[in-house]
Structures are given as structure tokens and as C-alpha cells.
Structure 1
Amino acid sequence: MKLPLRIAVLECDIPLDKTRAKFGGYGGVFELLLNNAADALGHPGLSSKEGLDIRKYNVIHEELYPNIEDIDAILITGSRHNSFEDVPWIVKLVEFTKKVLEQDCVRVIGVCFGHQIVGRALGQRVYRSDAGWEASVLPVELTQKGKDTFQVDKLSIYQMHKDIVDGVPTSVEQLAKTAICENQGMYQERRLITVQGHPEFTHDLVEEILHSRHEIGIFSDAEYKDAMRRLEDHDDGVIVAKAFLRFLLQD
């Protein structure tokens, strides 16, 4: 794929107050991640200063979508909403994702909710797991394809989900799993890459979410304390984002 990489970030939620004040929306959070990954990747012509054309679309409130003739990839963000619900904006997002997956030019990146939307667009069931939350920094077990894709043997990533994709479509390769969530990532060359975790999350962003969800009773005291304890652990978000960029750079 030629530079610049024209990436349409489909924003599926609005951040909490502190994060919104700093980044504007989740598109801003991903822009920082992709810029950092571009600098770390060291690919000619690609850095935080050149080679990335990141465009942001609010698909939940404004229901804005890019013209697929004008972009190289879509990146579907996370969301507090349920990817399996049939509310109008989610149905529209699933249908748009199907449309993109049916053609050969625009590639798809999905993160958390976005990973689940891609799974749903591929015909998999998405549901609320009885196994409970995955939150804060957690290790994932990489498949061989995951090790090859992320170019590491071990990976830890921020998580913030209770919903999961049921199984792995036969058309894609599985990247990772955990004890709670069998499908932690999917890959198909030149077509899609997804992760259930959140490579874009930062310490402060996750801390704000944990505080908010604890205060309103989503997380119990025990769940909150456990998640906060692991918040200081190392995360590999930039490693994941480098894999996103390598995926987009494939000819």
C-alpha cells in the first residue's frame, strides 16, 4: 500500500471528561498511538510527521462514514455499547463493515468493540460472557500466527470488555486467546486485523474508566482493586500498532 496511509477512524464512543479534554475523541487517542508506532517502526517515509493521513468519523451520534474510494483502511474503535445489539447505528456500522470486507482495496482494523463488529460482520455470534470482565493490563497467549504478526513471543495489553466473539471464523487466522476469551484477535492478509484488547489505552485513560465504573457499581470493590493493581504493569500497545501499520503496508 502506498504512502500516505489514509486511515478512517470510526469513533464508536465518546471518552470520559479528562480523556476528552486531552484528545477530543477516541480518534485523537488512536492518532497518538499510530504516530508513536510510525516513529518506532522506522519505515521510510512513515513517521509521526509524514506518511499518515488520519481522518475521524463519529458513527454513533453523527453517523458519518467515509467514501471508501477515498481511503485505504478503516479502524473501528472500542465502545461502552453492546456490539450484539440491533440499535440502528450499530446495524448500520455492521452493514458498512460487511461492505468494506466484500471489496479488495480498503482494509479493516478492529479494536475491542471494533473486533466484535468485524466478528459479527463475518457471521459470528457476539455475546455477553458469564466469565466476567477482563480489565486493565493482562497477558494474552499468542498463536504462532500471533507471534509472527506482532513479532514477539509474549504480549500484554489493556483490556476493558465483557462481551466476546464466539469462536473464530474459518476464513481468518486466530492471533491470540485468554482463559476468558478464546478469540483475542483475528487476521487475514490484506483484508483485516483485529484485537480484543486496547492498544490505544493509556494509564490515565484506563484509570479514569476504572474509577468511573467503580463509582457507578459496574466494578465491585474487589474487581476495582485487582484492576488498579495491574494498572502499573507494562503494556505492548505500540507493538500491536506497529503490526497494524505493517499490515497496511503490505503490497
Structure 2
Amino acid sequence: MNLKLQRALRIAVLECDTPLPETKKRFEGYGGVFEFLLRSGAKALNRPDLDPESGLEFSFWQVELNPDKYPDPEDIDAILITGSKHDSFADTPWINKLVDYTAKILSETNVRVIGVCFGHQIVGRALKAKVGRNPDGWEAAVNDVQLSEKGKELFGVDKLRIHQMHRDCVFYYPEGVEELGSSPVCKVQGMYSPRRLMTTQGHPEFNKEIMREIVDTRHATGIFDDKAYKEHMGKVDQPHDGLIVSQAFLKFLLEP
């Protein structure tokens, strides 16, 4: 009997920024960072229906630098919107186009959407939620996220430890999504809708090397003062649950 081989999951990574030099040297772009994360998650899942190599097919779209090129929804199963140093609420052409494309994907197709940090906020904005500067300020390096019941179910843990790097936020949950978690600094830490979308405000793809380079750079450029630098650097090496989030993303993409 011939068994029909399952087609690979086709994931289009919408790259919304360029990594800093050391991270770029290792991964080329943020698409490479996410490919490493998701293939690692697939290995950890160890599911017979998801081969870590042949079961995932990635394409990379640098929408910040090439805003006229987006994937055809007919050719993909999911989009993943990365983080960015830019403001998700900015009224700039490439960001407005990204919001419109995301809204169209969510409303007119069966393509699933993952959003991380800036990408999480873009999904919120596409769903008409308010996005802007967080009055409570920065959240950086490894922080705890208190999970909702749905968050505990999806991630399989009672509390999530995850790298953060943001001072913007989604102010409230859009209609039709489920809450995944919150922190003292940021109420909307993740959104979920079955077979439709899954987002995190935190960065599951970051490790201590990536985070250290970002914190160092933002200190050198004056974004973080000495006090903030010391606080954030004190949390860079803490254990984090990026691999757990990666597995949850993959389970979401495989939901029947």
C-alpha cells in the first residue's frame, strides 16, 4: 500500500528588521533565527507527522526593505511576523502595508498567523486594537509571564519565562481572540484563535547572546541608561522557555 506523504508546512517569515552584526553573522536574518527556533521545536516535539527537516519549508520576505514583495497566500500555510526596532503604530508606508496584508490574511484566507513582539502588535493593530507606547515603559531580558488557563493549556506550563524587548504594547484584546497571559508591565502578552492566529509579546527566538548584543547596543546608544542596563543585563542569562513556545507554535500550525 502506498502511503501518501504529508506535505511540508510552508512558513513565510516576514522579516521586519535586520539583526545586529553578531546575530547577523550567525543567522543572516531574523528568518534564520526563527528557522533555527522552529526546527529545534520540531525536534523536541518528536512527532511522527512533523520531521524537523523535511516537514518545515521556510521562505523569507524582508518586508521592511522590500515592501512591494509579499507571499501569495495560495503558496503558503502560515506567515510569521518578526520583531522590529520600529514602532508598530507608526504611520509609515511599509508598516501600513504590513498591517493591511495581515488583516487580509486573517479575514480572507485560511493561512495561519504567528506574531512575535512587533509582529504581535501588528496582529493586534490589524484586528483594530489600540497599539502604542506603553506608559509603564520597557520590558527587557528574561521576564515572567503569568499565563491564563488557555495559556497554561497551550504552553503546558503554569508560568512562562521569556525574553522581552519592547516599550510598545497592545492595550486590550481584540474581539474574537483568547488571552494567553499578562505581566505587571504589559497586560496583553499573547493572543490566540484556533487555526487562525497565535502571538507572543515576548521573544522565544532570542537567546542570551542575541539579547546581550541588543542590550549592549541600546546602552551604547543611550536608549538604556546605566541603571536600566544593569537591571536588564542581570536577567539576560536566566533560563527561558523559548523552546516551549516554539513547540506551542508548531502545535498551533498542526491543529486540524
* The one of 238, 248, 251 aligned to 2:253: 248
Distance in 2 (CA, whole Å) between partners of 1:80 and 1:99 is 24
How far, CA to CA, are the matches of 1:68 and 1:14 in structure 2?
24
1:48 equivalent in alignment to 2:37: no
* Cα distance in 2, alignment partners of residues 109 and 148 from structure 1: 18
* Equivalent pair of 1:111/1:196 in contact (CA under 8 Å): yes
Is 1:143 aligned with 2:138? no
In the alignment, the residues of structure 2 paired with residue 105 and residue 28 of structure 1 have an alpha-carbon distance, to the nearest angstrom, of 25
Out of 191, 197, 206, the residue aligned to residue 196 of structure 2 is: 191
In structure 2, runs of 5+ residues without a counterpart are 1-5
Q: TM-score, normalised by structure 1?
A: 0.98
Q: Could you tell me which residue of structure 1 aligns to residue 120 of structure 2? A: 115
> What is the SS of the residue equivalent to 1:175?
strand
Structure 1, unaligned runs of 5 or more = none
Is 1:178 the counterpart of 2:178 in the alignment? no
Q: Would you say the 8 A contact 2:73–2:109 is kept in 1? A: no
1:105 alignment partner, SS class: coil
Amino acid of the structure 1 residue aligned with 2:164: Q
| Cα distance in 2, alignment partners of residues 234 and 221 from structure 1 | 23
Name the residue aligned to 2:21: 17
Secondary structure of the 1:74 match is strand
Distance of 2:247 and 2:147 partners within structure 1: 16
Encode CA deviations 1:123-162: one digit per residue, 9 max, x unaligned. Answer: 0010101211000000100000000011111210000000
1:167 offset after TM fit, Å?
Answer: 0.6
Give the secondary structure class of the aligned counterpart of 1:141. Answer: strand
1:35 lines up with 2:39 in the alignment: yes
Distance 1:215 1:108 in 2: 35
2-structure distance, mates of 1:216, 1:131:
21
After alignment, is 47-56 or 201-210 more displaced?
Answer: 47-56
Give the 3-state SS of the residue equivalent to 2:234 in structure 1.
helix
Aligned 8 A contact 2:9 2:56 in 1: yes
CA shift, 1:45, in A, is: 3.8
2:41 touches 2:246 (CA, 8 Å); kept in 1? yes
C-alpha contact 1:120 1:126 (8 A) present in aligned 2 = yes
The structural deviation recorded for 1:222 is 0.9
Partners of 1:174 and 1:210 lie apart in 2 by 29
CA displacement 1:56-107 (0-9 Å, x = unmatched)? 0000011221010000000000000000011000000000000100134200
Q: Does 1:157 align with 2:162?
A: yes
Q: Aligned residues, how many?
A: 250
- Tell me the distance in 2 between the aligned counterparts of 1:43 and 1:81: 37
Task: Give the letter for the 1:146 counterpart.
Answer: G
| SS of residue in 1 equivalent to 2:11 | strand
Among all aligned residue pairs of Structure 1 and Structure 2, give the percentage whose two residues are the same amino acid.
Answer: 54
2:135 to 130, 133, 137: 130
Q: State the distance in 1 between where 2:192 and 2:171 align.
A: 16
* Cα contact 1:3–1:45 (8 A) shared by 2: no
Rounded Cα–Cα distance in structure 2 between residues aligned with 1:106 and 1:66:
11
In 2, are the aligned partners of 1:186 and 1:192 still within 8 Å (CA)? Answer: yes
After TM superposition, the score normalised by the length of structure 2 is 0.96
- C-alpha separation in 2, matches of 1:131 and 1:248: 33
2:78 matches 1:59 = no
For 2:151 and 2:194, locate their aligned partners in 1 and report how far apart those are by CA, in whole Å.
13
